[in-house]
Structure 1
C-alpha cells in the first residue's frame, strides 16, 4: 500500500436501532484495513469515549448506521474537530436520513418519487385514517422517517392495518411517512466517487424487502447484472446520480428504487452510510465492477485525503 493514511478510527456500533448491523459492517471494514497494513482501530460510541478522536487520529471511516452516525451528528462532531471522514457532509447526511425532506427535494428537482403524506404523532387524528388511505390509492407503505434497514416499516391495506402500523412506527419515530404502495421490482444503485456501480435487483418472498429479507433470510435473491435493457439501465443510473447530487451527497452511498409494473421509476431513499457486511449490497456491486472488498474499503477511505 503506497498511501499513508496515518491513524484511522473506524466508528461502529453506536446507539441506533441498527447497532447490530453497524457492528458487523465496522468489523468487516476494520479487518480489511488491517489486512492492508493500515494503522486502524475500532471505536464504538456506545462504550468508548469519542473525545479520544481529538488526539492522534488522522481520519475516520464512518460505519455507523442510523441515528447518531448517518444523520449528520457525528459528521458535525468530526467537522468541528477538523478530522477528515468518509462519506457525505453534515447537511446532506441529515437530509438523506429524513425521508420526507429527501422526497421534497426530489420533487422540487422533478425527480420521480411516490405520492406520500407525512404523519406527525402529536397531530395525528385516527378519524382521518380512511381519508388518508383513499388519497394514497388505498394501500400504503408505512415508514418511520428517520430509521433505516426497513426498521418499523409495514404495508397497510385498510384502516385497522394502518392504525396498527402507525402505532408500531411511532415507537421508532414521532414522524412517519405514508407512501402510495408501488407494485413492482426493487433496485439499488451504489454511487462511488460520483459514478454509478452495477445496479442490483433484489427479490424476496416477503411482502417487501424488509429487515428479515436483508439480514436473516437465506432465500433473498440478488441479481447483478440486474437484467435491465441498456436504455432502462442508463435511465436508472442517471436518476441515481441525480438523486444523490440533489441532496448534496458525496463520496459513497446507495440509492434505492422501485420499478412499477408500467415501467416507471420511483426513488425510495438514499443511504449515506450503507451496510458493509458480507451480505451487503455495496460490496456486491463493487465486486461486479471488479473491486474486491479490501479495494473498495481503501477506495472509500481515499476520499478523506
Structure 2
C-alpha cells in the first residue's frame, strides 16, 4: 500500500470507562498522525456507521474499554462492515471479557488462577444478602477481592480486609456490573504482559511491574504520582520466561489476535498467577501497553510508532 493508510480510531462510547477511552483515542491519533497516517477519531454513537461509510478507512482500531467495547458486540458490528480492524474476533472477545469464563479456560491450559466464584446481583437479592455474605465469609480467607466480572480500570474493585467490609464492597461492585467476582487475594508482585502480533506471530512484550502505595485502583492507574513502573519488570530469568510464556498461552488459548494484555501476580514461589486479560488495552500516558511497546521498540532499535504502524498495516492487509 503506497499511499498513507487511513485509520478510524473508535473511542468514547457509553461505558463506565468512556473518559479513559477518549484519552486513549486522542493520544493514539496524535501518535499515528505524527507517523504519517491519515487518522480520524470517531465516537461510538448514532453517527458511527455513517461516518465509517463516508470515510471508508483502510483499518479500524477500536479503543473502547469495557462492556460493549470488549464483549464482542462492537466486534460483531465491525465484522459486518467488512472493514478490517485491530483486535480479536467477536467470539474470542466474549470469552476473554468475562473474567469467570476466561479464568476457567486459562486454568484448563495449566496456568494457575485464584480460587474464585461469581454471583449475579439478581441471585444475590433472591437468596438474600445475609446468607450469601455468610457463605462467602466462610468459604474464603480474608483479605479477598471483590470486582465486577466484566469491565476494567479497577472500577468497582475492592480489597476486602474483613467480613464487616464485605457488604459495602458488594454494593460498590454491583454499581459497575450485574455480576460480582469474588476472588482470593494473592500476595505478590503485580505484572502486566502485553502480547502483539508481529509479522503474524504473537510476541510477548517486556513485562511491566506495577508498584503502588496502595491498591492499583482507578486513581493509581490514571493519576501520576501514586504508581511506579519498572519496565522490564525486576524478575529472575526463570520468572521472566514463565510469565512471558503464560501470557502467550493466554493469548493463543483464548484465540486472541493482534493485541492483548494479561495481568498476573508473581506469588511468593515466583510462579505467575493469572488475574485477567484485556482485549482493548489502554493507550494513555500512564497505560501499561505503551510502556511495554516502548521497551520492545528499544530492544529492536525502532521507534514505538513503528510497532503500531506495523500492527495497523498488517491488519489492513488482511
TM-score norm. by structure 2 comes to 0.90
Q: Confirm whether residue 186 of structure 1 aligns to residue 193 of structure 2.
A: no
Distance 1:253 1:3 in 2: 29
Instruction: Confirm or deny: 8 A CA contact 1:275 1:282 kept in the other structure.
Output: yes
Task: Tell me what 1:301 maps to.
Answer: 312
Spell out the pairing of 1:171-250 with structure 2 (5 A cutoff).
Answer: 171-193=175-197, 194-206=202-214, 208-250=215-257
Task: Tell me what 2:293 maps to.
Answer: 286
Deviation by residue 1:141-185 (Cα, 9 ceiling, x = unmatched): 011011101011001122231111111111111111000011111
Count of residues paired in the alignment = 303
* Residues 52 and 201 of structure 1, relative CA distance in 2, 3 Å threshold: same
Distance 1:92 1:3 in 2: 32
Deviation by residue 1:94-137 (Cα, 9 ceiling, x = unmatched): 22111111011112222211000111111123213122123222
Distance 1:102 1:153 in 2: 18
Alpha-carbon offset, residue 32 of structure 1:
1.7
Distance 1:69 1:188 in 2: 20
Distance 1:54 1:101 in 2: 35
Q: 265-274 or 294-303: which moved more?
A: 294-303
| Structure 2: gaps spanning 5 or more residues | none
SS at match of 1:117: strand
Structure 1 or 2: more helix by fraction: 2
Distance 1:256 1:192 in 2: 15
Distance 1:27 1:181 in 2: 35
Instruction: Confirm or deny: 8 A CA contact 1:199 1:225 kept in the other structure.
Output: yes
* Residues 105 and 154 of structure 1, relative CA distance in 2, 3 Å threshold: same
Deviation by residue 1:11-59 (Cα, 9 ceiling, x = unmatched): 1111111111111111111112212222221101147433331342332
| Structure 1: gaps spanning 5 or more residues | none
Task: Tell me what 1:27 maps to.
Answer: 26
Task: Tell me what 1:259 maps to.
Answer: 266
SS at match of 2:67: coil
Task: Tell me what 2:162 maps to.
Answer: 158
Spell out the pairing of 1:48-197 with structure 2 (5 A cutoff).
Answer: 48-55=47-54, 56-124=56-124, 125-126=128-129, 127-193=131-197, 194-197=202-205
TM-score norm. by structure 1 comes to 0.94
